[in-house]
Structure 1
Amino acid sequence: PVYPETICSHTKLVANESVPFETSCRYMTVLFYLNNVTGGGETVFPVADNRTYDEMSLIQDNVDLRDTRRHCDKGNLRVKPRQGTAVFWYNYLPDGQGWVGDIDDYSLHGGCLVTRGTKWIANNWINVDPSRARQALFQQEMARLAREGGADSQPEWALDRAYRDARVEL
């Protein structure tokens, strides 16, 4: 679910279950191309680098630029999938104080149809808490858990479990 009263809109915040309507920000995206595609399959950014962009320009003359499968050729930037490459972008603008601001409209993206072959990709979504103070407290708590648990003496999976299972009232 998307809760419009929060600034971010992708995934539920797992670090703090006491705030059920808060969402974390998919602040950055890294998209990895795992194979070459014979035809199509580009990742398209319809309004990238469009100096005159406004939301109303997304739909003109019955062409909806958000429908990248039908209007791939109309996008301003198309990235062809090549095995071993990746594309990286920010989904949000900075707020001027070093944290998450408004969504970056220019990060609008989608996939073009694969016309020949198959396409394999992997995403790495880098999420942050929309509250800078709460994110800092969470990071401090994780550092404390690592120190007290003797991170050097524990296998890496145990430390991962400590991070995943931590429930901290912030």
Structure 2
Amino acid sequence: MRTSGYGEEAGLEVLEGDWDLFDDLSEVEATIENVEETEYPQHRPGVSIVRVSGGHGWREYEWSNGHVHRYDWELFTWDLRCPNCQHSDNTIYMVTDEVWAESGLTRNECFRCLEKAIGRQLVPADFDSTIPCNDPTQFQHGPELRQRMGHA
């Protein structure tokens, strides 16, 4: 997310530069609304929004004091298929550093490709149990991966 129109306004330095990635469009909209409806008026008492315009990837807020704040963003698709076999069930998981080094893999390959690379089926000891993505209460893994993690 890029912002413009804030210039040297005290108290709004947080808006300079690019913002972090958002998960979906509703998060983008909610963040913009929060800044425009709560943050900006705190620093400029008595101002109000007079016009909001926008389209795909941008919004402009025009204020009663003449300031215009513009937000621009780009949405992109994140392909989570295995980059090796293109399997669509490429659930997030993490094995120990030793297992990953043994595999020689360098991307986010699925557990099936990892098994091919190391020449054996994964076992519960291969997974780092301290990592949240391996916790069955926080992530939904398919039955095959759950079995290998010891969560069957």
If the length of structure 1 is used for normalisation, what is the TM-score? 0.23
Q: Which structure has greater strand proportion?
A: 1
Mark the structure with the bigger radius of gyration: 2
User: Which of the pair has the greater relative contact order for Cα pairs under 8 Å at 6+ separation?
Assistant: 1
Q: TM-score, normalised by structure 2?
A: 0.25
Higher helix share: 2
